[in-house]
Structure 1
């Protein structure tokens, strides 16, 4: 039988307007349609003052006991999909659970959304204890997985260098982006054209995307997302607010979707800029499902995907973005747009995860 863990945690308004929850929900919908059965793991409220080690360890122990109870019925030959990182990060005792699953010859299929060892643990505001726990958790789940669904070939090569077996790793290429109750009329009413502003969508918080406050003044931009500081006036920037991931594709008006992160317009730098070298940013899926050709940093892992599928432009710096756009003919722009729309149809149908599941199960 085929199962997946469904972590249940109340989502606040902030997470409702970011892609983190969306991608997990889409995976669950696809798994359900592929006849996987959900195993619910509810959120356990923390006990006491977590600054005390004994209280913290008790919380971790309670999570382990909950997992043991919920998955006790699994038997040899079953498949269990786990999305990683976990939402509920009290997991230092889960080694017992994972070892028990492997002893029973239950196959753990891990879907990697982020490698926190390359992202969150690099931040200066993260405590040493939390860094230790996140790194330990990551190595633990990667070790006991039967198969690991990674983002792309770059992430695959990185994990091989870290000592993980090549045969365990399989690339999804790009994450799907489902749209419930698709409205074709709303989709076609948007302004998508070569002469429109460039779109920047996603988390606009300073620690992740401070480059947006230094955008070249000779190009117009439409911004969508949470965390933008509207007090900073930029005459060429129009902030359009934040929308749910389901609504956002209908709201995007512009010419291209920009895939860029970090603190510089000259290159993708900083923790999140460098992270683009290995991950599949969900905003790429968003732009393509919205039928937008993209502009992506040449050092990004997904630059190869854009190049192979002919659905956008690859640049090294935002400083020369206007001249690059001007060099694109109307015919070439329309061709990229058609290719983006075609790719978007695949993403909307859950094509990429379904293809992997058919290979694995």
Structure 2
């Protein structure tokens, strides 16, 4: 599915099911219904990078994670209904999925380390990657339900029917174990998985989206930027509207014919937009508090405040060039 967390499947009996990949669980069994109709019904207008591949060659759903591609997808914690999460808290789907898969391994490894390792063996978290380790791949056989702790609920894997981990391309050759059978001594886990889970280190993909922000045609709103802006792909449109409000209220608008430069150039605008991304507001949703009220448009279409820049680029802009957004001041509701 477009949210990159759910997968719709149809088995040999014709039963259609919805899986949550980050938990390895079936979250809805629709029975024998039309697969295409259900797919259309569940469609969401969201754009998130593909961070895994999958197949059913083994007779069950297998999910493949490869570095660095698997670390390309981020979402806001509030989209996972994380209790008490700040509005700007981002979650890397692969990172938290790996933490959920390897929670038993991690606990047992820590317990083993606390008692000391025999023969002076060093922690595999510090192992030097093998020649082919960058090509290592981890597979997950998803046939599970949810029932573990110490990770976010959206990344808890079942201990009753746990998935298996299969490693490919590691120096010791391929092997397979259920996640609950991992004892912390496995030395053939891909180094990037170990680094991710034990040290929270993983490749940082370019998650920025470049765009231009101009007054809408016929709008009396002044021009507030010069040059291209840059922000996280998952930045919501209401943050862009907030940025416009901040510039209109706090800064002197730039004259259309002015030759003055934007203070410190583009970096100033980028910095302010970044600060807005990291700000959180309590009570009413931010876009419900903005005065004056700002509408953001793309291709003459008013954008929903909940849309991300990536979603706008994919479904509204639909061009390879940098995104162009327009804004206008409307009567406060």
The two structures have a TM-score, normalised by structure 2, of 0.24
Structure number, greater radius of gyration: 2
- Higher helix proportion (structure 1 or 2): 1
- Higher strand proportion (structure 1 or 2): 2
